[in-house]
Amino acid sequence: MTEFSAFSYLSLGALPAGDDGKRRFRVWAPAAKNLQLALFREAEPTVHDLQPEGHGYLISEPVTAPAGTRYGFYRNGKRDKLYPDPASRYQPDGVHGPSEVVDLSPPVVTNWRGRRLPGSVIYELHVGTFTQEGTFRAAIGRLDYLRDLGVNVLEIMPLNQTPGDRNWGYDGVLPFALFRAYGRPEDFRDFIAAAHHRGIAVLVDVIYNHLGPEGNYLPQFFPVFTEQHHTPWGAAINFDDRQADGVRNYWLQNVRLWLEEYGADGLRIDAVHAIKDYSAEHFLESLSREADAIGRRQDRDIILIAECDLNAPRYILPRDHGGYGMSGQWVDEFHHALHGIVTGETRGYYEDFGTVEHLARALRNGYVYTGQYSVHRQRNFGVPPRADLYPAQFVVFLQNHDQVGNRMIGDRLIENVSEDKYLLAAATYLLSPFTPLIFMGEEYGERNPFPYFVHHGDEALIEAVRKGRAAEFAAFQHDGHTVPDPQAEETFRSAKLSWRENPRIARLYREALHLRAAAPTDFSFADISVDQAGPLITWTVTGSPHLHCANFGNEPLSVEVAGEVLLHTNGASRTAALLQLPPWGFATLATS
């Protein structure tokens, strides 16, 4: 038997076996007594026994299985149920059907070297609602628009196979299988190549903290969950309990899928605070180590962004500094501080925000809470960013899929604030010291909502989702104002972008991103200067040619500052040595 160390990095799925078109199929399945491979090339399947390799890994002898071959597995000698491959690359008939063998030619080799977070402008999109067609091929047609806007990084909401033909992507149960409604694997590979041709990097949103409720056959193969830890979705993914080595390898092979097989430029990792791991090396460290190795082999930069609900710098510190090695993290607190001021909302986690002081703190530190008492959490929360972190590692936003879609009707900010407040908030985050993330459509004032939608096949589950959403928003419902049915196709269709442009908003985004492109990208927290007096916040960065001034009040302000006005909202202007800022007005001035 092979030594155990050989099993820490085994490829999974349908693997090429020589130049004659044959393949070997490898599965990690310690939960099964035995497995048989079923190949569907004719009316009746051909069945092949899988042989043990050790430590729960099974592999077939080389078999003829060209691209397009349908296949699956029978467990424990029973042929009444065909299971898809846990590492299936494509499910032509959905989560309950057979898998399909896929041949992906290597990513197109160019002089592309990826991107780093400093200087990045990220655009988050959902493939199914970004265009009317909802496909990768259709999305390629919008890449020139995004490049001209000033976007150089795309963050694509999850692409794994979920039940049905429409979903946010967070109900995935086959993490390696590309969502069939968006196109075939070849289409996504071509989408990435088209983005690279335009100088745009592509990040994939991945979920390593939970699995969806329908079509999850992974427990039939291996102990994917552990009862040692729990998350909001139930039992946690097993990263540190018995047989965790194979579970960790499964997800690390998923990292390789997106970065090597497809050639993506990085990952956005969902809710890393729900990845429970007390191993000597946290799974995120292993993940960042693997990504770095891929980047070195391919001589390109790879970005890893953690969605983290903790003001904990360890997630984005380098591994040799005691951290997990993520490139950056989403910073919800910046959003909350900005949203709280312009909307006045104080429910839920917004009760910790709402003052200009909170936003000034966010502009200075990225985090708002760095050890202070949080009323919402009823405890002290957070620590300050360390001196060896950089502002570019903090990804900030005015909206994202969560902050829109987790509202009752998925209403966007433009529906709840005046246009002047919207422009002020947009300019503030776009020209902040941090890396901005634009949620699709906000850059031109999209008004179509982005509600939560699913397409399950289990009637009991459908009803449970409906009741769960209704209960979550019970206090907000009244006649004519209720939770959209998540299962209804119309709910999904309502989320498709209209592409109806508000010229004033579109102009502000273009001008702000043009100014941002001329500003420094590599600087430290020590280089950020923020001043706040009442409703006025001003900020600049050492070496930047720009001073930003924002009035978060209902009265006009006269500010004694020098410099030409380069960008303004709501009629801000100069009078002699004074900058006239109207209520909820913003201006950027040239400092040299």
The residues that are catalytic are 270, 307
E strands present in 398-542: 435-439, 528-533, 536-541
- Is 530 in contact with 360 (CB distance < 8 Å)? yes
**For 168-189, b where at least 16 C-beta lie within 10 A, e where not — what string?**
bbbbbbbbbbbbbbbbbbbbbb
Looking at residue 277, the DSSP 8-state letter turns out to be: -
The alpha carbon of residue 282 and the mean position of all alpha carbons in its chain are separated, in whole angstroms, by: 20
**Cα distance between residue 174 and residue 171, in whole Å:** 10
**Cα distance between residue 298 and residue 321, in whole Å:** 25
DSSP 189-254: HHHHHHHHHTT-EEEEEE--S---SSS--GGGTS--EEEEEEETTEEEE-SSSTTHHHHHHHHHHH
Q: DSSP H helical segments within 443-524, as ranges?
A: 459-472, 489-494, 503-517
Q: Would strands 557-560 and 578-581 be described as parallel, antiparallel, or unpaired?
A: antiparallel
The alpha carbon of residue 360 and the mean position of all alpha carbons in its chain are separated, in whole angstroms, by: 26
Q: What angle do CA 275, 175, 301 make, to 5 degrees?
A: 75
- Is 159 in contact with 70 (CB distance < 8 Å)? no
Neighbours of 11 (CB within 10 A): 13
